[in-house]
């Protein structure tokens, strides 16, 4: 399974961006069975959880730092998960990674170790 993250860029504080994560590959089974998460890593900091969505889109989770500002959604027909980011702050600056796995249980959606497949990351820079 390959994941391609895109949509990052440079934006002013208060602005918006939408990240996309597209899954592909010969080993990709029904995309609907994969939980997909977004994580981010700022320079000098550890990778942290941002948001995740279950395969059917019925259950989502997000970090407290982004609640009310970021929304995760998916289009299973397009093998794509989106992260709509609004009211961006300079502290949101990081490389954003998407990750997927078909065996993530609800209680472990926030753990990076729960995901086997990772995209290459897309840079988000928020200027003040």
pLDDT digits (tens, 9 = 90+) for 31-49: 999 999 999 999 999 999 9
Q: What pLDDT is attached to residue 29?
A: 79
Between CA 21 and CA 7 the distance in angstroms is 9
Say how far apart CA 66 and CA 70 lie, in whole Å. Answer: 6
37: DSSP letter: E
Which whole number is the average pLDDT over 50-62? Answer: 91
CA distances to 73, 91, 93 from 9, in Å? 20, 14, 10
Residue 58 has pLDDT above 80, yes or no: no
How confident is the model at residue 96, as a pLDDT?
98
- Mean pLDDT for 51-71 is 93
Residue-wise pLDDT for 76-124, tens only, equals: 999 999 999 999 999 999 999 999 999 998 899 999 999 999 999 999 9
Residue 18 binned pLDDT confidence (cut-offs 50, 70, 90): very high
- Quickly tell me which residue has 């989770």 as its tokens: 61
């Amino acid at each position: 399974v390959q994941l391609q993250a895109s949509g990052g860029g440079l934006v002013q504080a208060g602005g918006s961006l939408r990240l996309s994560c597209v899954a592909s590959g010969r080993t990709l089974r029904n995309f609907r069975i994969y939980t997909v998460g977004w994580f981010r890593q700022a320079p000098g900091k550890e990778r942290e959880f941002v948001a995740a969505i279950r395969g059917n889109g019925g259950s989502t989770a997000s970090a407290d730092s982004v609640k009310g500002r970021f929304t995760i959604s998916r289009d299973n027909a397009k093998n794509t998960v989106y992260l709509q980011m609004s009211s961006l702050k300079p502290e949101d600056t990081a490389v954003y990674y998407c990750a997927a796995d078909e065996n993530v249980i609800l209680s472990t959606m926030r753990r990076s170790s729960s995901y086997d497949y990772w995209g290459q990351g897309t840079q988000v820079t928020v200027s003040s």
